[in-house]
Every structure is written in C-alpha cells, then in structure tokens.
Structure 1
Amino acid sequence: MPFFIWAPGAALLVYIAGVDLYPAEQLIVAVLCVSLMVGAWWRYIRTLDNHYMLRTARLFLMVIAGFLAIRYIIWRFEYSIPWYESTFDIACALMLLFAECIAVALYFGGAFVNLHPLRRHPDPVDMKDPNLPTVDVFIPTYNEDADLLRTTLLAATDMIYPRDKLRVYLLDDGGTEAKCAQRGKKGEQACLRRKELQDLCFEVGCFYMTRKDNRDAKAGNINAALARTDGELIVIFDADHIPTSDFLKNTVGTLIADERKAFVQTPHFVINQDPFEKNLQASREMPNEAEMFYTMNLRGMDNWGAGFFCGSGAVMRRKALEEIGGILTDTIVEDAETSIELVRRGWKTAYLHLPMLCGLNPESTEAYVHQRRRWATGMCQLLWEKNPLFVPGLNIAQRISYFNCILFWIFSLSRIVFIICPLLALIGGVTLFAAPPVEILLYMVPYLIGLGLVVNALYGRVRWLFVSEIYETLSSMFLFKNIIKTILFPKHEPFIVTPKGERMEYDKLSYLAPRFYLVIALQFLAIVAGYYQLSTDPTTLNSVTFSMGWNLYNMIFTLAALGVLIERRQVRSRPRVPIHEMAKVKFNNKFVPCEIVDMTEDGALLRLPGWIERLDAKEGALEFAQNHIPKEELSLTRVLENLNRVGFQVTSVREQKKGEEERNLLVGVRFRYEDEIQRVAVVSFVYGSSERWKRWLMQRNKHSRIMQGVVFAVRAASMGVFHIAMAFKGLQHVLLASRLLSRRRNASRVTEGEKA
C-alpha cells in the first residue's frame, strides 16, 4: 500500500484517539472497542482457511488495537505524570512511560511487518539442465565434534544436484595456522583436530579448508573461502544444520528465475527442545520459540522486500556478495548487517518457508543466554553503526521492518522497568501515576486486552499466550546490562560460538539463579509492604491494590523463569527423531515386520509385534526404504532400488502393554556400519525428507486457545516454587556439611592439644 494512502489514515487515527472524554464516555468507548475486537478475533480464528476474510479480520483487529494503544499513550502523556511529586518520582514515572512507548512502538512495528505475510513456493528447476549454476557449500566450524560434523557433511554431499556442479567445503577455524602454532597443549589439540577433520573430509568426499588466523570469526572464515573458490552460488550451513536432500532442488530455481535476487533464506528447523521447553517439561504440542520469527516475521519482512539472511540455511549469489566485499564484519551480527547492505544496494531477496534443514537449540540455559547476549549486543551495535532508519537506499517499509528487529532486543530494558516499578511503588512509596487507579484501568485494561487479542490472532499458531512473558523475563535479566553497555560504548565485541550438543548427567540448579532469588525476595517484601500500607492507611486502598496486582503478575513470571533454571538431565548429545514408519528386521535369518519409533545415525527404537513372546537375539539387521522419493518418480522399481540394510546390536528390550490383551516389544538397537555407504543411507533416511519436517511443524502450528497459555504459565510458576524448595534443601545440606566439617576440625584440634 503506498505511503500517501496509509499515512493520512494513520494521522486521522491519532487525531481521533486524542479526543478528550469523561470517564463514563471512556468506559463506553472501551467496552465498544473491546466488543468489536472480540467479535473480530472470534471471526478470525474461525476463518483461518479463508484468505480474504483472514486479511480483513487481521487488519480490523490491528486498527482497533492501535487506536486503543495510541489513546492510552496520549492519556499517559497528558494526565498521568505526577509533575507535582518529588524529582525522583517524576524520573521513575517518565522511565515507565518511556518503557511503555517502546512496547507500543514494538507493537506497531510488529503489526506493520506482519500485515500480509508472504508465502512463496519453490520455482521449478530442471536438474538435467547443463546450464545449472555451480554451487559451493560452506560449512564453517570452530570447536564442534567430528561426529556432529560427519552427519552434516554426509547430508550436504547427498543433496540432489549434478555431482560435477556441487562442491562441499568444511571451513575449519579450529585448526588455523595460528592455532596450530600455539605452544603447549592448545597447539597440539589444534593440530590433532586439523588431522582428524582432514581424514573425515577424505572419508566423506568433500574438501577441507582452513586459513592463517581467526580474524573476524565466522564471517572472516566465509570470506577467506570466498577468495579461494569460484562457485556461482554459495550455500552456508552451520555445523549442526543438516540439510534435506531436496534443499538445492527447492531453492536454486528462485535465483535462476531472477538474476537480481541476492539470496534465498530458509527457516531453521530444530529437532530438540530449547531449555524453556525441556526444563519446564512442556509438551511437544507447544511451538518452539524460534517458530514465531521463521513462520511469521520473516514472511512479513519478505512481503516488504526486507530480506533477512540468518547466517545459515541460505543460498547466496557470489556476484552480490563480491559487490559488497563479502560477509560484512563491522558488527557481530554479520548476517543482519549483510542483509541490510545488499537490500540498500538494490538487490532483491526471498524467503522460502519450507523446513529443509534441522539443527539444534542450545541445550542449557547458560548456552541460551550466551547466544541471546551475542544477538542483543550485535543488534545494538547495528543501531549505532548502520541504523536502518537512516542508511540510504531503503524504502520506508524496509526501514520499519529492519528497525523492528532491533527494537525487539531493546525491549528487554522495558521488561526490567516493568518489574522494578511496582517494587518502587510498594517498598519505596514512589508515585508513578497522578491519575486515580480507576481511571488508569479505564485506559490500560482495554489497551492490554486489545494487545493480547492481536498477539493471539497474529501469532496464535506459533506462540502460546503468556509464553513470551516467561522468555522475556528470563532473558531481560541477563541482556539489559549488555544492551546498556553497547548503547553507551558501541565497540566491537568478540564473536563467541554458542555451545551445542551439551550433555547433563543429572538434574541441577543453574548457577544463573541467584539474581532471581533476589528479585523474588523483593517481590515478596513488596507484598508485605503493601499489606502494611493497607492496614495503616486505608485511603491508599485503590493505589496499593493496583500495585500489588501488578507485582503479583510479575512474580508469577519470575517464578516461571526460575522454573526454567532447573536444568533437566540430558544424556544424548543429539535427540532421537520421531519416525513412525514401517520396516523389517532380520533375526537369525528370519524377517519380522516392525515400526521404527525414533532414530538417529547412532541407533533406533523399534516396535515389534506382540506375537514375538521373547527376543534372545543380541544382533540383527534393519531393512528400510528411503522415504523421500518424489511422487512423480514413485514406482515399485524405484522403491526396491532404495532399500537399505544396516546391522545392529540389541541394547535393550522391554514390553509395552496397551490394554489387557495388546502388547508389543520395544527394542533399542545401536547400528554397526560396515562402510560409509550404509551411514549415508541412514543419515538420508532420518534427515533427508523435508516432508517429515513439514508434518512436524503442521502438528505444532495449530491455533492455540488462550487458556493453554494461562495454564502453562501457572504450571511453570509452580516449578519455580519447586526450584526454591530444592535450593532451600540444598542450602540445608551445605550448612549441615559445614557444621560436620567444623566439628571434625575442632575434634582434631582437641586431639592434637591432648597429644601435646
């Protein structure tokens, strides 16, 4: 929609929202707007399959919610600031208002970006065309395990593409000449790693590449490889990102169809739960945190021509990269920086929302926070170095889209302010509002209801209500320091790789928890202070009750964040992939039908029929057919050609009963490969089908009910209470141990004195 059409409409909306009303009139407006929004929301979730009705209901919701948000902020500026209180009170009130303005700006930015998410389809490409562009696949690595790299390399070399036009490179930054030249153990380890990965590349059939030093981290690693290769297209995969066999088949056509396309980005699909899901023991039905970004935000940005290169899972045109000097290195978010530079130079981008690679979330809360700190720091650097609002070459929609990505990370400051303010009001007696609580509720409640309805309508498929509150509460406690530091001193920060494939032998409390103990203690103290004020001064009933309700709301999510900090046991470095497909197993020269329940490249869990009363065999073989044969090529001959067999050793056998009569045997097996061909077949079977990842996403991306988020938040808060109980019990054990140790020391001193 052209700027000259929607800009006057936005100005008219602001003008109408600024009209003064009496409280009774404001109540009528609030009830009317909320009623209209509830009706539109109900219509929205009942017409998810009707594209026209969907867009209309979404736009209507956004306009009404925008009206309520603008009206609330105007009222806050005009009537709610306590100008006649102390300087400290005024400063705190203005700090809160500024935090609310950031939240409203983020709402409008998100609504604009996701107004009409674009859904692209792959452009067809003929794999027999002799003029297909040559493709170089770059897999940068720094400290990842060789077994993890083997899986990614095998999948990359197995992608459907002419063999003479595809080259796969492992870019090793852990075995650079500078690292190998180090004295002592570090240098020896770097040399051993280089030798190990060189042998791995020889076995897999790809190219090993390293460089002199580690300048500019991942971006410098890719740029060094760009200078030594000549493929027309560049594909970048992180070390833990395993591509499906049809990755190039679905992406290359988009770049062939338009020579001004700089890159095609695909979503990062993850197969393991992030620390929030794992530690809070969330069901598999709950969408992953990243799905909101990859399912909605990137499609919305693609609609406005504001493409976003995500660092991995992208096919890039060499000519475009060479024009801007390679991957840019002025900030530690080289992917976002490179995206903005390409778009402002006039290059086009595309986002193809098809899950064609699977990767790993950080397993621990520490690794998660570490990753988010880097992203938040990099985005704040981008705010100073190349602010999308001011760099030349972008249109208005692109500026808003890119700035909204930066504002998302700055919102952590607002979350901290929202946590602190009720504490200041209850414990310190700070006046944050000049208006009476009833008037505050008349403006605030409809604004918050409207915000919740829009969030559920836009993101209900990919984010449960209130789940974002838990993520933001935990993240903000660790990000605000980095954000403030980077805004004040935007110097270049080092790029530190996020740990992946971590294991935990037992449940434990995270060392990140102590600051949450302090916040919980202050929130509890604030409740006590509130009750004391009510008992001593009943005239403060309305204001104190309002602050206590706000504080209790914050306390629920602080407890939920504390529940996340119970690190759950995890013994596998790579999770099993649910398969649920039929196959055959061979025991003692007899074939038995089975169901593959789940599987990795190391082993599988098989379900055998109940008529097998006992299983004495210690080894056998699994026979399975590849599941990603194109429909147009499906035939009996093609299926038989794709039959594979791999030997295994039985590791566990247990009985599974369903009711009184039905029973099965669950058999755990560990694979024994005779050659690399068998391993390639297993990797291709487990990770090679994009259809499997699509089905997985469809099962999770169902529009959530509002109560799902409420129940989950309360359950998460109860786990926070359990965390405190565990910490208290652990403290008792520490005190008891210290007493016993003290007694032993005293006893030994007495004994030594008697001997003397």
Structure 2
Amino acid sequence: MRIDFLSRSVVQSRRSPARPSLRRYIVGISQSFQKVAPFQLYDYVQSKIKLTVTPWITYLGITFAMIMIVCLAEFQIPLPDQYVVSGMLLTLMLSLYNWDLHKRSDISTTLSRYAIIFCSAYFGWHYLYWRATQTMPYGYGIASEVAGWTLLLAEAYGFIMLMFNHLVNIHPVSHPIPDLPKDEHNLPFVDVFIPTYNEDINVILPTLAATVNLDYPSSRFTVWLLDDGGTDQKCNQSDSAKAALAKKRRDNLRSLAAQYGAKYLTRSNNAHAKSGNINNALTKSQGDLVAIFDCDHIPTRDFLKNTVPFFLRDEKLFLVQTPHNFVSQDPIEKNLNIPKGPGENELFYEVMQPGLDFWETSYFCGSAAVLRQPILKSLGGIAGLTITEDAETTIDAMKRGYRTLYLNKAMVSGLQPETVTGMIVQRVRWGTGMLQIFLLKNPWTQKGLTFVQRLLYTNLIVYWLFAYSRLALMLAPPAYLIFGITLCETTPSQLLAYLAPYLLSSLIVAQHYYRRVRWPFISQVYETLQSIFIAHAMVKVFLKPRSPSFKVTPKGEFLDRHFLSVASRPFYVLLVVNIVAIFSGIGLLQTPGAHIDAILFVLFWAVLDSLFLLAVLGVTHEKPQRRTAARVGLRKPIKLILSDGSLIDASTEDISWRGARVLPEFWTEFERNTVVSVMLAPGKCLPVRLVDSSVTSRDHAGALAVEFVLENSEDVVLAVDWAYGASSDLVTMAHSRRRARSILGALWLFVRLATLSGPRHIGHLLTTARLPNIQWKRMATDGLVIAHKVLRRWSIARWRSLRAKTPDRVNAQPVSRPSTAVGAEINAGPIEGDWDIPPVALEGGRA
C-alpha cells in the first residue's frame, strides 16, 4: 500500500522505540477506509443508476455545508476536547487523501474530495473566528492595534481564497473529443488569426508554418497574418529611423505571408492594441469560426480537428479554450536552474480551468482558442475597455447566455518571456487588467451572469491582491524584532488547538489539489518577485482605472551575457531590512527576561523571508539566452543518410525547428560543417549541417549537434511539423513534467537554490561595481561586530522600556503573529496551492 508524504512525514518524525506501532496505525486507518461500506454502496449504486453531479446540486450542497460549518466552528469547546476533535478530523483527512491516490473510482474520489473540503473549511472558519474574537491586541497602543487588524485582514483574505479554491476544485470536468463529419462540405469555415506587433520574424515564422499545415481541409480555412507593427501610423511616424524599420517589417511580413499561402493584413493605426488588430481583421473575414494564436504559439496539426467538432454539437457555444503549453523555461526556472518539473502555468491550465468549466466559467485566454465568429461580431468584436481583453470578452458573451468550454489537451508550443522584466510586464498587465474589469465592468453589475459566474470572476480579480498580502508578511518580522509591535495575543495551548489543525489541514489540501502541478515554496518565489511591481501598478489603476495601456510581452530575446536585472533594486532594501531584523532578534535573545520562544520563532520567520529574497536576487541574475528557437526534449527515431548513401540509425534527445541533438547508434567521425541528410519519416528528409560533434549526453556515449539547412518554405513546414506538430508528443512532455515533490524535498530544493543563487548575485554585484580596491572581507567582519554590539545595547533598552509600559494580563499572553497557515500561502488564490510558515509567534506566552 502506498503511503504518500503526508503520512510518511508523521511516521518518520517519530521513529523511536516508544512508538513502534504508529506506522501500522496510519496504514491501517487508510486501508480501513478503502473498505468502508458507504463508499462501496455508492459505487454500486453509481454502476446501476446513472448519477450526475450538476452545478446546481453542488451549489445546494455547498450552501448546506457552509451553514453547518459556521454553526460548528462558532461552538467553543474545552481545549482537551478540541485536541480530540482536531485529531480525529485530521486522521480522516489523511486517510482520505491517501485513498484518493489510488483513484478507485470517480465517485469515490469525489466523495473523498467533499469530505476533505468540509474538514478544511471547518478548521479555517474555526481558526478565523477564534482569531477575530479572542486574540486582537487591544491595549498595546495604536500601532499594535492597526498592525493587528492589518494582519487579521490578510488572514481573512487567505481564508476567502481558500474557499474560492475549494469552490473551483470541487468537481473538475473533462471532455471527450467528438469526431468531425467525414464530408468536408459540412465543416465550418475557419479564419486563423496570428496577431503580431514587434516580434522577431524568427518567432513568427514557425507559427505561420504550422498554421498553414493544419490537418483540416485547405478549402475550409484561411490563415491571416495581422501586422500591427507595420501600420500606416508606424510607417509615417516622425522618427525616420523607426518609420524605415516599420516599412521594412511590413514588406518582409507581406512577402512571408505570400510565400506560405497566408493573407497579410495591417491597418491605419494601432488603436486598442491587440483587440483592435483582431477586430480590424473581423471586418475582412467571413468565416463561421475564428482561431486565434499568439505569434509565439505554434499549434499542432490536429488543433482544428480537435476543437471544431464541439461547435457542431452546441449552437450556443461561443468559445473552446485550450491550454497554453510552454516549451521554454521562464526566467525563474532558467536563472535558478530549477530541475525539470511543472511550470508556473500548469496549475491554472491543468487544475483551475477544468474546475471553472464545471461552473461554465472557463474563459478566453487570448490565444490557442477557437471562437464562433458571428457571436463575436455581435458582441462588437474583442472587447477593448481594459487591457485584459480576453477575460472581458468572455464576460460580454456569458451575460448574453452563451457558453464556453475548456478542452484540456496541450496543442500549442509557446514561449515564455526570456527576462525578468519581460515576465513582470506580462504579470502586471494581467493583474491591472483584472482590476480594471472590477472597476469598469464589475461582474456584480452585469445582468445575465449567474451567481456562481459573478463569484468566480470576483475570485479571478481578488487573487491579484496577493501582492499586498505578501508585502505585509515580508514586513511583519522587522515590525516585531525591530519595533516591538504586538500583533495578537494568545497562549501556546490555544495555538496548538486552533492554529496547528488549520496549518496541517492546509498542507493536506494543497497536496490533494496540486501535488503534481505545483511545488511548495517555489511558487512563493514567483509571488515575492511580482509583489512590489503589481502592488504599485494596482494602486495607480485604482486611482485612474483607464490609465493602463497594453504592453506586449517581449518574446524571443537574445541574451549574450550575464547581467543584473533592474528589477532587483527594491529587493536589496527588503533584504537589508530583514538582516537588520535578524541581528536585532539575536540581540533580544541576550536580554534578561526575554521571551526566547517568541524571538526564536520570528527569527526563523525572518530567516525564511531572507531565503525568499535571496532566491529572488538569484532570479534577477540573468543568464545568457543564445538559442533562437525553443527546444523540446523528445526522443524520436531518425536515420542519418551519409554522402555515400549508407544509413545510420539514430535518435534525438532534444529538437527544435532549427536543429536537434542527435544520438547515433554507433559512433563515427564527422568533420565540422559536414552536410548530411536526416530521414525524419519514410519519404521525409531534410539536409542538416553538423555544428558540433563534442556534445555530451546524459545517457549516451556521444552526441551530435546539427542544424537544419532549410532551403525553402516546404522544408520549414516539414521541420516545424516534425518538432511541434504532434499533440501526443506535447501531452507526453506535459505529463513528464508533472512530478510530485514532497514538502521536505521541496523545502530542501528551495533552500539549496536560494543559498547558491542569491550569493552569486551579490558576488556579481560586488565584482562589477566600480568601487576602490577595499578589503571587503575584513570590512564586512568588522561591520557585523559593531552592528551586533550596537543592536544589542539598543535592544536591551527598548525591551526594558516596552516591558515597563506593557499592561498586566491575567489569562492571556501577548502574541506576535505573521499570518495564518492558509492565509499566508494559500492566499495565492485560484491558481495557488501553497502554504507559509506557522503564523503565530509567542511574545509572552508560557510553554
């Protein structure tokens, strides 16, 4: 029987002679739940009678469950009884979690999920009710009261996001792909749009080559290359150099479109950016459907074959959205050298969108989607009031009663931003655009939306408030260690009764939902990096909702050296503040009468925050990006055809449309720049040039680096189709990335990455700074000694002053707390499933 980490961790933490039967106890509980009669009975009934879980049935069940949870959570019981109740519910959650890993049947998995959600919601509401009614730091001054309420609001936000996570993930759905009609005259006509702006031609070319090669009758679709970088406005601008570049771009793209059999289209101006570009094309197209691909999203050949059939079954269907599958690393993965694992977007496209689809709320993501063209035109085209035109367009369609569908199958190969600044531009646009929707087109004021649709759109908007929560959590340890601000008051026994179950249940829930698509702690690095910039941008949008302009995410950038991103500057300040707080805490430990447990806890918290900041600095230490095309790790059999006509069996290790790493079955000497042929499939050959024969491979004696010699458009189409054309290859790659990692394993990986990459950034900063030759090591040592003495004397004086002012408490002890277990890290909202350190630090409690 498999016992996952959450049960293994309990066993491993108590490997002592005094507890020899604990493992057998937990295993026995898990096994016994697999034999529970009600579940077997339900499986039997499900096999005999078709029972369908509908949104309305689920909604009624949630309403009834929430009423029960509120009533139970507000019922206060003695602490000893609370320990027993919490232990029983946590044992139930652990057992159901392990049982769900076996996936006996869909209905059993559903019931397990319902039970875990109920227990988690109970622990969360019970904790929050206790926090709000019994732990607020009244009587410690205005600063403590303001800080206490700020922290409570952050915890309430985290609990709300937890409830949204439960609502979204309660019953994810999947759709089987129907067959297309055999008579091509019964197929709808599809217009394929590729909007472009300032992207390099090497980014656009493979997408164009893939779209003209789609497995769909050629008479039933047209490809349009929409050029917003060569508009009349761009070509006639006052800057003559920029105008010349725009004219050259227009000529190049027009020629490229003609070469590949696509239509080229530009317009007079750049009004409304991407949405205006697409809407201009809608005035020229007459198709039944429109497929939209960002110019860096290369579709597989079966994209239309898999998406179009859904429109033939449902006349009210407006949208079929598919995942954005990325084949390149984002800056965090690349700069931290994170091992192969799930990408940041995997959680949203693999878990959240199927959950939204159950509630008929899956939405347009701007690319890799097919829309019904007459409906889109009736809406006035792609919406342009906000800079998140995709989500806004979905609201316009839903409020008129049209439906959307999410097909969870990877069918595009996309590019991530290459630099940290490029990624921040993208995420700031997403966050500010969703806030714009809330301010300018609030879902609660739009007639025609269902209650759950309004609720889940609110969830997508409120999620971006994680930036403020993250900053508040980052500043909490310095507030306590440097300024002595009390954030709440409680006792250790109360923490054990209320906080510990909440934290443990949050761990179980996060692993239950996201164990294969999100690694703990790594996603917090993403949040920390984005928080400052998103928080600043959202303040500006709140003051001026119409002020943001659409900024295209840079793609296909070429980086030829290491450098420090300008985005690193604010994190220097935060790191220094945390280091000062750590030394202040060390000084407090040496003061007479200090509350050692509280100080040690907050010190641990400050150290953990410092590790996050070091990891962010490691991210902003940009690495070179010299490849012009993203490579995918696929093993494909090929044959090398030598000049004498002999064949060598070989396989690939990674490939792109520009080249590959080839592993020959037996080694032979090749000269550099030798041109041979590669047989990709029977009757499909391409000439290749040997670039390097000294390439190493992890599990092969030798490897060859080759590049394709692409002489015409047919060669390009063949190379692109071979590298990215099979959706089965993308699905296999996506599944290979989704590997679960235990909490301890993820923690070790995070600590290792932070401690290696952060100092590397600092070393680069010191070695490249134009400063006089100074003995840095000696200066740093002397500075630390002096700082320690100063902080120790100051801390003693401050602590004595605070103790003299602190009122006596009879039955409560002051507590300084950073955050809740879920409020801290599950506050990532609809696309986050992580956790933070325990949220409460004792200031005056007794063990």
Is the Cα contact below 8 Å between 1:332 and 1:492 reproduced in 2? no
Deviations 1:351-403 (A, max 9, x none): 00011111101111111111111111111111112222442222222222222
1:620 aligns with: 676
Match of 2:244 in 1: 188
Structure 1 equivalent of residue 88 of structure 2? 32
Give the 3 Å change call, closer, same or farther, for CA 388–448 of structure 1 in structure 2: farther
Q: In 1, are the aligned partners of 2:567 and 2:620 still within 8 Å (CA)?
A: yes
Distance in 1 separating the partners of 2:528 and 2:386: 26
**1:698 correspondence with 2:753:** no
Per mean C-alpha deviation after superposition, the further-off stretch among 573-582 and 318-327 is: 573-582
Partner residue of 2:722? 685
Contact 1:588 1:617 in 2 (8 A): no
How far off is 1:576 after superposition? 1.8
Q: Provide the residue aligned with 2:75 in structure 1.
A: 19
Per-residue Cα deviation, 1:220-251 (whole angstroms, up to 9, x for no partner): 11111111111110110001000100000000
Confirm or deny: 8 A CA contact 2:578 2:610 kept in the other structure: yes
In 1, Cα distance between equivalents of 2:106 and 2:593: 55
Map 1:546-561 onto structure 2 (within 5 A). Answer: 546-561=601-616
The alpha-carbon deviation at position 705 of structure 1 amounts to 2.6
Aligned to 1:232: 288
Q: CA RMSD in A?
A: 2.1
Indicate whether 1:130 and 2:170 are aligned: no
Structure 1 letter corresponding to 2:686: V
Matched residue type, 1:570: Q
Q: 1:342 maps to which residue?
A: 397
Amino acid at match of 1:32: M
The aligned amino acid for 1:677 is E
Instruction: Tell me what 1:68 maps to.
Output: 123
CA offset at residue 464 of structure 1? 1.2
Deviates more, 1:164-173 or 1:504-513: 504-513
User: Pairwise mapping of residues 653-664 of structure 1 onto structure 2 (< 5 A)?
Assistant: 653-654=693-694, 664=701
Note closer, same or farther for the CA distance 1:389–1:546 as it changes in structure 2 (3 Å cut). farther
Residues in 2 aligned to 1:720 and 1:19: alpha-carbon distance in whole angstroms: 49
Structure 1 residues 597 and 6: alpha-carbon distance in aligned structure 2, compared to 1, 3 A threshold: closer
Return the alpha-carbon distance in structure 2 between the equivalents of residues 545 and 665 of structure 1. Answer: 53
Alpha-carbon offset, residue 656 of structure 1 = 5.5
Q: Which residue of 2 aligns with 1:424?
A: 479
Between the two structures, name the one with larger relative contact order (CA 8 Å, sep ≥ 6): 2
1:474-505 deviation line (CA, Å, top 9, x unaligned): 11122111122223332231001000011221
Whole-angstrom CA distance in 2 between matches of 1:310 and 1:463: 20
- Call closer, same or farther: CA 1:725–1:179 in 2, change over 3 Å: closer
Give the aligned partner of residue 492 of structure 1. Answer: 547
Query: Of the candidates 695, 711, 726, which is equivalent to residue 674 of structure 1?
Result: 711
Counterpart Cα distance in 1 of 2:255 and 2:574: 52
1:506 paired residue number = 561
Tell me if structure 2 keeps the 8 A contact 1:609–1:664. no
One-letter amino acid of the structure 1 residue matched with residue 666 of structure 2? G
TM-score, length-normalised on structure 2? 0.82
Q: Distance in 2 between matches of 1:533 and 1:738?
A: 30
Gap change, CA 1:729 and 1:617, over 3 Å in 2: closer
CA distance in 2, matches of 1:461, 1:719: 25
C-alpha contact (below 8 Å) 1:268/1:355 kept by paired residues: yes
Local SS of the residue matching 1:252: helix
* 1:199 alignment partner, one of 242, 255, 258: 255
Whether the aligned pair in 2 keeps the contact of 1:437 and 1:546 (CA below 8 Å) is no
Residues 644 and 678 of structure 1 are in contact (CA less than 8 Å); yes or no, is this contact kept in structure 2?
no
Q: 1:112 aligns with which of 162, 167, 176?
A: 167
What's the offset of the Cα at 1:202? Answer: 0.9
Q: Distance in 2 between matches of 1:328 and 1:582?
A: 46
Matches within 5 A, 1:578-657: 578-589=633-644, 590-612=646-668, 618-625=674-681, 640=682, 643-654=683-694
**What amino acid is the match of 1:470?**
V
1:322 aligns with 2:359: no
How far apart, CA to CA, are the structure 1 residues paired with 2:127 and 2:685?
66
Question: Alignment partner of 2:133: what SS?
Answer: helix
1:356 equivalent in alignment to 2:411: yes
Aligned counterpart, 1:157 = 212
Alpha-carbon distance between aligned partners in 1 of 2:603 and 2:634, rounded to the nearest angstrom: 49
C-alpha separation in 1, matches of 2:654 and 2:182: 32
CA change 1:655–1:251 in 2 (3 A) is closer
Contact 1:82/1:433 (CA < 8 Å) preserved in 2? Answer: yes
Q: Is 2:308 the counterpart of 1:271?
A: no
- Counterpart of 2:365? 310
The Cα of 1:21 is off from its aligned counterpart by 3.2
Does the 8 A contact of 2:136 with 2:149 survive in 1?
yes
Aligned partner of residue 223 in structure 2, secondary structure: strand
Q: Find the residue that maps to 2:720 and give its secondary structure.
A: helix
Q: Conserved in 1, the CA contact under 8 Å of 2:195 and 2:225?
A: yes
Counterpart for residue 280 of structure 1? 336
Q: CA deviation at 1:82?
A: 1.1
* 1:131-179 CA distance string (max 9 Å, x none): 2111100100000111221111110010011111110001100001111
Looking at structure 2, the residues matched to 463 and 677 of structure 1 have their Cα atoms a distance apart, in angstroms, of 40
Does residue 714 (structure 1) correspond to residue 751 (structure 2)? The answer is yes
- Tell me, yes or no, if the aligned pair for 1:330 and 1:492 is still in contact at 8 Å: no
Indicate which of 565, 570, 580 corresponds to 2:625.
570
Answer with 707-716 or 199-208: which moved more. Answer: 707-716
Equivalent in the alignment of 1:397 = 452
Give the whole-Å Cα distance in 2 for the aligned partners of 1:738 and 1:29. 61
Determine the C-alpha separation between the residues in 1 that align with 2:589 and 2:537: 39
| Aligned pairs, number | 718
Counterpart contact for 1:241–1:358, Cα < 8 Å:
yes
Separation in 2, partners of 1:470, 1:555:
11
Instruction: Supply the AA of the counterpart residue of 1:54.
Output: T
3-state SS of paired residue (1:605): strand
Which blocks of at least 5 consecutive residues in structure 2 are unaligned?
A: 1-55, 777-847
The 5 Å alignment of 1:506-525 reads: 506-525=561-580
CA contact (8 A) 1:280 1:716 kept: yes
Task: Provide, for residues 87-110 of structure 1, a one-character-per-residue CA deviation record: whole Å limited to 9, x for no partner.
Answer: 222111111111111111111101
SS in 1 for 2:248: helix
CA contact (8 A) 1:647 1:671 kept: yes
**TM-score (normalizing by structure 1):** 0.91
Question: Which residue is equivalent to 2:348?
Answer: 293
| Structure 1 residues 671 and 267: CA distance shift in structure 2, 3 A | same
Deviation track 1:629-669 (CA, whole Å, cap 9, x = no partner) reads xxxxxxxxxxx4xx21111222111276889xxx7442222
- Change over 3 Å in CA distance of 1:451–1:345 after alignment to 2: same
Residue 621 of structure 1 aligns to which amino acid in structure 2?
S
Aligned pairs (5 A) from 1:446-457: 446-457=501-512
On the 8 A contact 2:629/2:658 being kept in 1, the answer is no
Please list, as runs of the form range in 1=range in 2, the aligned pairs for 1:133-144 lying within 5 A after superposition. 133-144=188-199
Pairwise CA distance, 1:554:
2.2
2:662–2:705 Cα contact (<8 Å) kept: yes
SS at structure 1 position matched to 2:199: coil
Identity %: 33
| Equivalent position amino acid for 1:204 in 2 | Y
Could you tell me how far apart the structure 1 residues matched to 2:720 and 2:607 are?
A: 49
The 1-side partners of 2:663 and 2:100 are apart by: 42
User: Contact 2:386/2:392 (CA < 8 Å) preserved in 1?
Assistant: yes
SS in 2 for 1:138: strand
For residues 687 and 90 of structure 1, the distance between their equivalents in structure 2, rounded to whole angstroms, comes to: 58
Distance change in 2, residues 1:738/1:706 (3 Å): closer
AA at the equivalent of 2:284: R
Structure 2 CA distance for aligned equivalents of residues 36 and 336 of structure 1: 39
Residues of 2 paired with 1:201 and 1:392: CA distance?
43
